[in-house]
């Protein structure tokens, strides 16, 4: 069959390409429903990655956060019309002791292979997670929440001290989701958020306290920290974290920077700190994310607040509008895919 895919050809240029779609014996056909624009998608769209990277990756369809509706399943395992979350990691290869999302042999959609900006997706059963119960737009954030579960798995394996007080650096979507997941999983934890934009931090009403990074009290105790700043400001954030964190604390690094950042290794050594890098997630993490959304009224309530704008997309012009608006919105821009 012939399908349409919408690829980023170059900075701010999206074009529709027709391509043949072959449905395998153990694959289903699904139509994307809601798509969420990630910071990584923005970096590609606006050309904020190095030119050699863009030359290697493009052309490529963007978006790796998506839900969909099942159109066809030859084997009848998933009823037509059922809702699913799409899994962007293609777990083709396994390696002993290496988690699937860190295996460079496993493709990740919208990073080297086409993402979900297409009229329909042919995927294996492992590429979808069925949504049980009431369906909501917030399931589009499953992938983002799963990234936090991946980070927390590494955090718990590394942590040797108490985790009564945790600091989260950043006031954007990633820090919001990290803080929310921490609140849901560790209800007694004291969660402190450090940012610089007051209107954004006002949405963090579920945490114990928010601080402007330039007005942090002296002698504030923090057991562990999560860095969600990324880009050029990650260096300043890490510097402040190393100064404030307690000895033998863990620093979970989630912010992405295109440039190298300076880290004071003397402080890391003196305090016996652990720096933990975390990126992406696998299908197991995504199932945990879905279970959290399904089981927690608090999680669903605050994920709704994470949405800055919903935009209907019917053509390439609408796609451009959605990406341009995403750069103006404080938090997540969600697309209602009506292609």
Q: Are residues 205 and 325 in the same domain?
A: no
- Taking only the tens place, the pLDDT of each residue in 246-277 is 999 999 999 999 889 999 999 999 999 999 99
Give me the residues paired with residue 336 across strands: 34, 312
- Verify that 24 and 60 share a domain, yes or no: yes
Residues 207 and 82 in one domain: no
The answer to whether position 312 is within a domain reads: yes
Structure tokens at 200: 């954004």
Per-residue model confidence as pLDDT tens for the chain (339 residues): 899 999 999 999 999 999 998 888 899 999 999 999 999 999 999 999 999 999 999 999 999 999 999 999 999 999 999 999 999 999 998 888 899 999 999 999 999 899 999 999 999 999 999 998 899 999 999 999 999 999 999 999 999 999 999 999 999 999 999 999 999 999 999 999 999 999 999 999 999 999 999 999 988 999 999 999 999 999 999 999 999 999 999 999 999 998 899 999 999 999 999 999 999 999 999 999 999 999 999 999 999 999 999 999 999 999 999 999 999 999 999 999 999
CB 131 within 8 A of CB 42: no
Q: Contact, 249 vs 223, CB < 8 A?
A: yes
Q: Is residue 302 part of a domain?
A: no
> What does the radius of gyration of the chain's CA atoms come to, in whole angstroms?
20
**Do 123 and 154 fall within a single domain?**
no
Other beta carbons within 10 angstroms of residue 200's beta carbon come to 19
In a domain, 285, yes or no: no
Do 116 and 190 lie in one domain? The reply is no
Is the domain of 17 the same as that of 60?
A: yes
Does 136 share its domain with 150?
A: no
Residues 79 and 29 in one domain: yes
Which residue segment(s) compose the domain that 240 sits in? 146-277
Number of domains in the chain: 2
Query: Are residues 132 and 156 both part of a single domain?
Result: no
CATH number at residue 97: 3.90.180.10
């Amino acid at each position: 069959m012939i399908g349409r895919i919408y690829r980023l050809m170059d900075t701010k240029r999206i074009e529709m390409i027709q391509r043949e779609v072959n449905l395998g014996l153990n694959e289903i056909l699904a139509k994307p429903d809601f798509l969420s624009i990630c910071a990584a998608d923005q970096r590609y769209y606006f050309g904020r990655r190095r030119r050699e990277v863009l030359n290697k990756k493009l052309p490529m369809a963007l978006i790796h956060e998506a839900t969909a509706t099942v159109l066809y399943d030859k084997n009848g395992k998933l009823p037509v019309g059922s809702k699913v979350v799409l899994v962007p990691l293609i777990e083709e290869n396994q390696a002993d002791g290496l988690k699937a999302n860190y295996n460079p042999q496993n493709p990740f959609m919208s990073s080297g292979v086409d993402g979900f900006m297409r009229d329909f997706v042919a995927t294996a059963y492992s590429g979808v997670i069925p949504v049980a119960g009431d369906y909501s737009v917030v399931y589009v954030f499953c992938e983002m929440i799963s990234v936090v579960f991946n980070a927390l798995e590494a955090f718990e394996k590394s942590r040797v001290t108490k985790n009564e007080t945790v600091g989260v650096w950043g006031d954007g979507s990633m820090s919001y989701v990290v803080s929310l997941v921490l609140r849901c999983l560790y209800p007694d934890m004291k969660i402190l958020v450090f940012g610089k934009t007051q209107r954004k931090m006002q949405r963090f009403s579920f945490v114990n306290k928010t601080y402007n990074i330039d007005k942090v009290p002296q002698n504030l105790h923090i057991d562990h920290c999560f860095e969600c700043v990324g880009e050029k400001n990650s260096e300043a954030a890490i510097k402040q974290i190393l100064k404030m964190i307690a000895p033998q604390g863990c620093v979970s690094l989630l912010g992405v920077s295109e440039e190298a950042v300076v880290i004071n290794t003397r402080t890391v050594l003196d305090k016996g700190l652990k720096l933990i890098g975390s990126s992406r997630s696998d299908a197991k993490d995504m199932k945990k994310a879905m279970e959290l959304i399904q089981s927690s009224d608090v999680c669903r309530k605050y994920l709704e607040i994470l949405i800055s704008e919903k935009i209907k997309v019917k053509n390439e012009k609408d796609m451009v509008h959605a990406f341009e608006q995403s750069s103006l919105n404080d938090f997540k821009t969600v697309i209602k895919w009506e292609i």
